[in-house]
Amino acid sequence: MKEAGATAGDYHRMQVWAGQSAVMAAEVPAGDLVKQIWKDARALL
């Protein structure tokens, strides 16, 4: 939907996509998110 809206210059479609993405996103405390990112990065090293 985002790509189709961007290609067509349809900003309404892009706003709908952004709104749906925000609703579907999981609420995670910032500290927990940083800890998970750090843990994943350390696993790659």
pLDDT digits (tens, 9 = 90+) for 5-32: 567 776 676 677 677 776 667 788 889 9
User: pLDDT: is 42 or 16 the higher one?
Assistant: 42
Q: How far apart are alpha carbons 12 and 26 in whole angstroms?
A: 24
The reported pLDDT for the residue numbered 6 is 66
The reported pTM is: 0.42
Written as one letter, the residue type at 15 is Q
Structure tokens belonging to residue 7: 């290609």
Q: How far apart are alpha carbons 38 and 10 in whole angstroms?
A: 38
The reported pLDDT for the residue numbered 43 is 94
Q: How far apart are alpha carbons 40 and 45 in whole angstroms?
A: 9
Grade residue 45 by pLDDT with cuts at 50, 70 and 90.
confident
